Amino acid sequence: MNPSGPLAQPDQVPLVEPTRMIGNDSARSDDGQLIDFVELRAVVMRNKWIILGVLTGTMLAAAVLTALSVPMFRAESTLEVDSRQSNVLDVEDVQAEIPAQGSDEFLRTQIEIIESRAIAEAVAEDLGLLNNDDFLVAMNANPVSEDLSGREAADARKRAVVGQLLQNRTVTKVPESRIITITFASPDANLASRVTNSYTENYIEDSLTRRFNVTAYARQFVAEQLAEARERLEDSEANLATYARNTGIVSTGSNADGDPSGSLTNDTISQTNQELVQARSARIQAEQSWRSAQNSPALSLPAVYQNSAVSNLLRRRAELRAQLAEVKQRYISNSPEVQEAEAELGQIEREISSISANIKDSIRRNYEATLGRERELGSALQGLTGQQQGEQSRNVEYSILNREVATNRALYDGLLQRYRELTASAGLTGNNITVVDKAERPRIPFAPQPTRNMMIALVLGLVLAALATLLREQIFNRIRTPDDVRRHLSVPLLATIPRPKGVDIEQALEENLSNISESFQTLTSILALSGTGGVPKSLFTTSGRAGEGKSTTSFAIAKNLVRRGNRVLMVDADMRRPNMHKLLGLDNENGLAEVLAGQTVIADAIRTVQEPLAIDFLPSGHIPPNPVDLLSSVAFKNLLDVCGEKYDHILIDGPPVLGLSDALILSSHVDATLFALEAGEWRPAQTRDMIARLNNHAKQLLGLVMTKFDAKGEGYQYYYQEYEYDYANS
């Protein structure tokens, strides 16, 4: 007995590598894939009937509900709601403009107003829906009970009608826009469009009414303030006129502060001063011109040589001089031709001198005139300045009274303008709501939508099927595949035995070329390679419970060992529910129980199976009352020693591990132990517990044999294709 339970001796070949001969795990979830599609497909295949059932149920339910649903029509109207009011009067502050960051809040407020009960009641009144039960009947709602009195019936009908309006009306805002859509659903297409348009009209009317009522108090308040301002303005104007008349002040206006902007004297002084400045500037310019021309030759003055007449005379003089020079070359100096040319040149010289002198004299006269004008304006300005000093003391009081008049006038004008605006805006309120599209009669119903309903049912069915599958997988979590053994257990998987198809296990074992026979051949080969000594001398095969294939496994290994020329003894050590003799077609009289009890000898109890191979078999015998005591006795150890001398291998088929100690005792007596596990029957935790118990008592736990593995039934038919391998027909 090895308390530590080693799985392989140091001198043995590791038993993990043979597992790769059973199933290739290179493509499973351990390769780093986010989703194990092989496992997912296997889960779907295992639960296909649940999935199909749930999908079929949801689709049928959707089809029935769709068929029983009343066709519904939906009409839609579209509004543009601007947060800025229309500026009807072209006055900026007629209506406060809502800031941009508050436009979304404004639109949400408008949606709440449309969805309010007040608008629904207005729609009901507008369309006359409260007069009878026709609307309720059209909406497939219960009409008002005939047992109610007139007032009670009216109130009940109003509540029912308004409730239907609120229930079937939808108001939504188009994202990133100022568009609001109003829809109403009804079994009656005409009714749907009428109600939707009525909602639109009543909302616009309600908006205008609310804005008109808001200005009522403001108009009354401004009117009272306007009357008071008018009285103050009249009093201040009367006081100003009386003071001006008594003091003889004639004002020409006032500035923005209300002070007089000037009197006749001030205006005259201002004008005279401007004229004096201009006259002084003109005199200075004329004086400079005269001083420049006074001692200079006339022809050097700019005014002279820029004169057009002088320019023409100078040009003519140059021509005459050229002619005179030419004539003198041709005639003598006192010839008539020369005298005539000189006379004409002299005349031109005199004209030039005369014109130049006149221009120079005009510069002098201009200087004298500007000087006189300057002196006259200077004298006049001195007289006006003295007159102004006398008026300044009187203007102080006049300015005070004038500012009071200006203040009262500005206040009165502002109030008067505001009152006019309020009065005009009350009657001409700008509408910030624009109907983009009115509701039209819908031509086809929007509900029920068979395609949409079936798609929803399909999605819902898939979700429910996934939940049901997940729940079932969690509840029935089992070790189903060789990969599950590798993932959940620390025991090497020596072989995987397929579930027989269409034949029983005995017939499958008789067919040497069947998948089951080949799998047991592989198991025998792995046992032969498991250590330096080959297949253990004594080998005990057990399982978690009865019916998992441990007896078949022992028998198949025995056949393969005999076929290879070994002397094999099979022992049925299950003295509680013996089964091996049935598999071999023998009786169970005079067996292991009788040998251990000393009632017979081994030679008399052993039977030989002749067909198809000669295998010696020791049945369990009659069921004793104390199987544990018999297996724990020295007689059992002696039996193994005696048989070990005669046979190459002793294969023991024992009882299951779960709930019994027989298997633990047997595993401690034999050289090695095999654990047969039926695929899909055990939870990982249960299997680990059974293996741990065996590992704590067995001398050597070689590994695990998975039996009855149905790759197709577990959904792995494409992954574990080696279990479907068949020989070709000859």
**What pLDDT, on the 0 to 100 scale, is given for residue 722?**
47
pLDDT tens per residue across span 219-235: 778 888 888 888 888 88
Measuring CA to CA, which residue among 548, 558, 549, 506 is closest to residue 527? 558
- Residue 392 confidence (pLDDT) above 90: no
End-to-end, the C-alpha distance of the chain in Å comes to 51
pLDDT value of residue 729: 47
The pLDDT score that the predictor gives to residue 419 is 76
pLDDT reading at 305 higher than 60 = no
Task: Count the Cβ atoms, other than its own, within 10 Å of residue 678.
Answer: 21
> CA nearest 655: which of 633, 630, 635?
630
Q: CA–CA separation, 226 vs 413, rounded Å? A: 9
Residues in CB range of 583: below 8 A, 6 or more apart = 506, 551, 552, 555
The yes-or-no verdict on residue 659 having pLDDT over 60 is: yes
3-state SS assignment for residue 495: strand
Task: Report how far residue 49's alpha carbon sits from residue 282's, in angstroms, rounded to the nearest whole number.
Answer: 118
| 261 or 347, greater pLDDT | 347
* Predicted confidence (pLDDT) per residue in 586-617, tens digit: 888 888 889 988 888 888 889 888 766 778 99
What are φ and ψ of residue 653, in 5° steps? -100, 115
Q: What is the pLDDT of residue 657?
A: 87
pLDDT tens digits, one per residue of 445-475? 888 888 888 899 899 989 998 898 888 777 7
Provide the β-strand partners of residue 73. Answer: 186
Q: What region does 419 belong to: left with phi over 0, alpha with psi -120 to 50, or beta?
A: alpha
At 124 the pLDDT is 93
- Can you read off the two tokens belonging to residue 200? 């639109």
Q: 525-548 burial string, b = 16+ CB within 10 Å, else e? A: bbbeebbeeebbbbbbbbbbbeeb
Q: What is the mean pLDDT of residues 324-344?
A: 75
What is the Rg, in whole angstroms, of the alpha carbon atoms belonging to the chain? 63
pLDDT of residue 14: 35
Identify the residue whose tokens are 């002088």.
310
Per-residue confidence (pLDDT) for residue 611, from 0 to 100: 65
pTM above 0.75, yes or no: no
Cα dist. 577→356, 581, 694 in Å? 161, 11, 20
Give the lowest-confidence range in 103-112, 395-404, 460-469.
395-404
What is the token pair recorded at 445?
A: 């119903």
Q: Looking at residues 349-366, what average pLDDT do you find?
A: 73
Query: How many residues are recorded in the chain?
Result: 730
The tokens for 586 are 């023998």
pLDDT at 384: 65
- Measured from the Cβ of residue 570, the count of other Cβ atoms closer than 10 Å reads 28
pLDDT the model gives residue 450: 86
Q: What is the pLDDT of residue 250?
A: 63
Distance separating alpha carbons of residues 167 and 140, to the nearest angstrom = 13
Q: Which of 52-61, 146-155, 477-486, 710-719 comes out lowest in average pLDDT?
A: 710-719
Condensed to tens digits (0 to 9), the pLDDT of residues 157-202 reads 999 999 999 999 999 999 988 999 999 999 999 999 999 999 999 9
- Is the pLDDT at 726 greater than 60? The verdict is no
pLDDT band at residue 8 under the 50/70/90 scheme:
very low
Asked which of 44-58, 227-241, 706-720 is least confident by mean pLDDT, the reply is 706-720
In this prediction, residue 650 has a pLDDT band, given cuts at 50, 70 and 90, of very high
Residue 4 three-state SS:
coil
Q: What residue type is 146 in one-letter code? A: E
pLDDT at 237: 82
3-class secondary structure, 652: strand
> Per DSSP, what are the bridge partners of residue 435?
79
pLDDT at position 113, please? 93
Residue with tokens 């071999």: 584
Please determine, for residue 528, whether its predicted confidence score (pLDDT) is greater than 80: yes
Q: Which residues lie below 8 Å from residue 658, measured CB to CB, with a gap of 6+?
A: 544, 545, 690
Higher pLDDT, 346 or 590: 590
- The percentage of residues in the chain with a pLDDT greater than 90, rounded to a whole number, is 17
Q: Check residue 723 and give its pLDDT.
A: 47
CA distance linking residue 655 with residue 593, whole number of Å:
14
Query: Which residue has better confidence, 412 or 507?
Result: 412
**pLDDT above 50 for 6:** no
